[in-house]
Amino acid sequence: MIAALYVQTGGGYYGIEGVDPWDEARDARLYPGPWPVVAHPPCARWGRYWSGGPSARVRRIKGDDGGCFVAALAAVRRWGGVIEHPEASHAWLWHGLNTPPRHGGWVVADWFGGWTCCVEQGHYGHRARKATWLYTNGIELQTLIWGKSAGRLRLDDGHHGGDRVRRARIGAREAAATPPAFRDLLLSMAGRRV
């Protein structure tokens, strides 16, 4: 059994045999164990636009996620598993985790047995590159597909003779979604406790 923490109600982690999904209503901060976890703690207050962005009416507080990331980190350190967060997440520095190299590969994350890496979800079916940082603890490390993916969205803007390119935009829901192949990879990783 694997616990999927901070997942969307009825989303991609539901209906999978051997997966216990914890959505907002179940409050993953209260996860008592004993199974390894795949954690997707909220990233809005940890990302590049943690303050709400340039047009935000109310200025947000960096790291104000109600304790979700720290609870996910504690769960992974105690029960084993993996945390997924956007590349350049401020949560890494905030919690004393080493920054992984952009080109990929596992590096030591902390003094608690953790490892971290950067991987693009475009290698696993996302339509955008979606660079992602992973933190693992207590599991066997796997070789992932490292480096830049081909998942960059572009649309031809009609200027065939020039090199002007307009990038397609995807909605927030699709941008936040975890492709099934990446979800399965994370579940496989969590299932390899050492």
Q: What is the pLDDT of residue 159?
A: 38
Those residues with Cβ within 8 angstroms of residue 119's Cβ, 6 or more apart along the chain or in another chain: 104, 131, 132, 134, 144, 145, 146
Place of tokens 């340039």: 54
Averaged pLDDT, 185-189: 96
Cα–Cα distance list, 76 to 14, 62, 67, 116, 156 (Å) = 20, 22, 14, 12, 43
Report the range out of 81-85, 92-96, 156-160 with the highest average pLDDT: 81-85
Identify whether the C-beta of residue 174 lies closer than 8 Å to the C-beta of residue 151. Answer: no
Q: Which domain holds residue 60?
A: 2-190
Q: Number of structural domains, the chain?
A: 1
At residue 47, the pLDDT reads: 64
Residue-averaged pLDDT of the chain: 84
User: Which tens digits make up the pLDDT trace of 86-131?
Assistant: 898 888 998 999 999 999 999 999 999 999 999 999 899 888 888 8
Report the relative pairing of strands 114-120 and 155-156 from DSSP bridges: unpaired
Q: How many other CB atoms are found less than 10 A from the CB of residue 11?
A: 16
**In the chain, pLDDT over 90 holds for what percent of residues?**
57
Query: Which stretch of 24-33, 42-51, 106-115 has the lowest confidence by average pLDDT?
Result: 42-51
Of the candidates 105, 102, 81, 85, the residue with the CA atom closest to the CA atom of residue 94: 85
**More confidently predicted of 168 and 76:** 76
Confidence at 72, pLDDT banded by 50, 70, 90: very high
* Secondary structure class of 139 (helix, strand, coil): strand
- What's the CA gap between 71 and 73, in Å, rounded? 5
pTM of the model: 0.85
